Amino acid sequence: MQQARPVDYISFGGGQQSTALLVLAATGRITAKTFLFANVGDDSEQPETLRYIEDHARPYAEEHGLELVELHRVGRSGPRRGETRTLLADLERPDSKSIPIPVHMNGGGPGTRQCTDRHKIKVIADELARRGATADNPAIVGIGISLDEIHRANNRTRIPHEQVVYPLLDLGLRRTDCQRIIRTAGLPVPPKSACWFCPMKRPSEWHELRRTQPDLFEHACRLEDQLVERRTRLGKDPAYLTALGRPLRQAIPDGVDLLPLDDEGDGACDSGYCMT
């Protein structure tokens, strides 16, 4: 039986891989006892993910003596000091000049991705430091990347008091294995975790959002309109929430079936802190 390296904490996203890690911790397959969920905002996270955490993951953790801690980005200076900051609120601020999510520029390439750093990586790093992690005694943090997504694994970290490991890779587990582990524990398999407006979504996921949650889809369209207007005001070309080179309402038309070739790409954030 393969063994996972010792791990102190798990970066918990509420998706299938990190929920499988929760079960593996409860059954003694990994050593972590603390799971850190950096919530980018109740207005920003996929609503189904938040419901799953409250209805299933948190009760399961408590039942098995595991700590599931919810963290938020908090303003540290200026007029927003002490204020809980959400990703959506930051994006929709009328006076904002930046776009921290990887919107797609002309040619389809994603823009700068600052959302994961600001709302996930740094939030968890601050909590690790608060708990005593140092450069001389770094916290070992497990991230839920499975064998079928090994290209997302990267042991480099800018956080001196953090060492990143991948327990699912150590154990040779794929996403399908994670689903089996979750079901065996008597839990329903969670939906994929992400922000509901994430530009890393595949077109099929945008079609599903439009079909099942039209209010959220329309909100995403309004957000995209706002971001396009902001870039126009700054003298920049438009940028969109998909790589299809046109506004979301046109790119994801209502009632139109998706062609297989329109759904290319892995749709995943490569840091591993999101979408696990």
Q: Kindly state the tokens that stand for 84.
A: 């809980």
> Helix or strand or coil: residue 226?
helix
* pTM higher than the cut 0.85: yes
Instruction: Write the pLDDT tens digit of every residue in 233-269.
Output: 989 899 999 999 999 999 999 876 655 445 555 455 5
What is the predicted pLDDT for the residue at 95?
86
Which residues have a Cβ under 8 Å from the Cβ of 107 and sit 6 or more positions away? none
% of the chain residues with pLDDT over 90: 75
Contact in structure between 4 and 27 (CB atoms under 8 Å): no
What is the predicted pLDDT for the residue at 264?
54
What is the predicted pLDDT for the residue at 261?
45
Instruction: Write the pLDDT tens digit of every residue in 109-118.
Output: 677 788 999 9
Exposure string for 178-199, b = 16+ CB within 10 A, e = fewer:
bbebbeebebeebebbbbbbbb
CA 211: distance to chain centroid?
22
What is the predicted pLDDT for the residue at 167?
97
What is the predicted pLDDT for the residue at 108?
56
Give the residue ranges of DSSP H helices in the chain: 16-26, 47-52, 58-63, 87-92, 115-116, 122-130, 167-170, 175-184, 203-212, 214-233, 248-251
Contact in structure between 240 and 224 (CB atoms under 8 Å): yes
β-pairing verdict for 34-38 and 9-11: parallel
With a cut of 70, which residues of the chain have pLDDT below it? 1, 78-79, 107-109, 155-156, 256-273, 275
Q: Kindly state the tokens that stand for 191.
A: 């939906």
